[in-house]
Amino acid sequence: MTLYDHPDCPYGMKVRIVLAEKDMDYDLITVDLQSGQHRQPEFLKLNPFGRVPVLIDEGCVIYESTIINEYLDDEYPEPQLRPAASDERSRVRLLEDYADTAFTLPAMAVQIELAKPVGVREENRVRAARDVVLKGLEMVNRELEGREFLGGEFSLADVAFAPIVLQLEKLGIHPDNSLKNVRAWVQRLAARRGIASMPRLVA
């Protein structure tokens, strides 16, 4: 099994968390995004959209992090990271999709702006993106009411949010006491073996 990835990609982190939770061995190939390696013909043969992560397992090439994680959960079901009941499984999938499209992207926008020098940084963009992330955390706080994890048990929904919620401090986002469910959940996430093994997330 081979994973093509970049260390700072939150979508790649999702896949690495699942691989760690399932205690799976794999070869990691780092794709140099800064030099444009993901746009080279050799990589585009693996993923025509030119994005990481890409997983190759016994000749099967899979890209898009959520699809990769569902594949891993199908092929290597221990521990199972999706609920058995179809209604709960659909709920987990909806939360994954929200994390991918409406939560991670504005958080990445904050990261991009914070990496710029202060004089160049667009502070209005930072504030707007942080507000979107906070609204997402409010939704997650409601979803966690009466639950330890988003799927009841630890699931792919929690995995989808983990790369961002474990780096909120670095983004300058500080959940207050109104988000008590989120704050307790973040501590539970950080204690997971598959997440604790990733220094970039918990350092």
Q: Report how far apart the first and last C-alpha atoms of the chain are (Å, whole number).
A: 27
Please tell me whether residues 95 and 67 are part of one structural domain: no
Q: Which of 23, 42, 75 is the last residue of a domain?
A: 75
Flag whether pLDDT at 140 surpasses 80: yes
Give the C-alpha separation, 157 to 194, whole Å: 15
Single pTM value for the model: 0.92
If you average pLDDT over residues 51-61, what whole number do you get? 95
> DSSP letters along the chain, please?
-EEEE-TT-HHHHHHHHHHHHTT---EEEE--TTTTGGGSHHHHTT-TT--S-EEEETTEEEESHHHHHHHHHHHS-SS--S-SSHHHHHHHHHHHHHIIIIIHHHHHHHHHHHTS-TTT--HHHHHHHHHHHHHHHHHHHHHTTT-SBTBBBS-HHHHHHHHHHTTTTTTT----GGGHHHHHHHHHHHHSHHHHT-HHHH-
- The domain in which residue 160 lies consists of 86-192
Cβ–Cβ under 8 Å, residues 121 and 110: no
Flag whether pLDDT at 189 surpasses 60: yes
- The count of structural domains within the chain is 2
Please tell me whether residues 180 and 102 are part of one structural domain: yes
Q: Which CATH number is 91's domain given?
A: 1.20.1050.10
- Residues with a known catalytic role: 9
**Residues 18-36: tens digit of each pLDDT:** 999 999 999 999 998 888 8
Q: Which of 21, 43, 75 is the last residue of a domain?
A: 75
Asked if residue 198 belongs to a domain, the reply is: no
Please tell me whether residues 120 and 174 are part of one structural domain: yes
Please tell me whether residues 99 and 65 are part of one structural domain: no
Handedness of CA 188, 189, 195, 200 (dihedral sign): negative
Please tell me whether residues 37 and 112 are part of one structural domain: no
Asked if residue 197 belongs to a domain, the reply is: no
**Residues 146-170: tens digit of each pLDDT:** 999 999 899 999 999 999 999 999 9
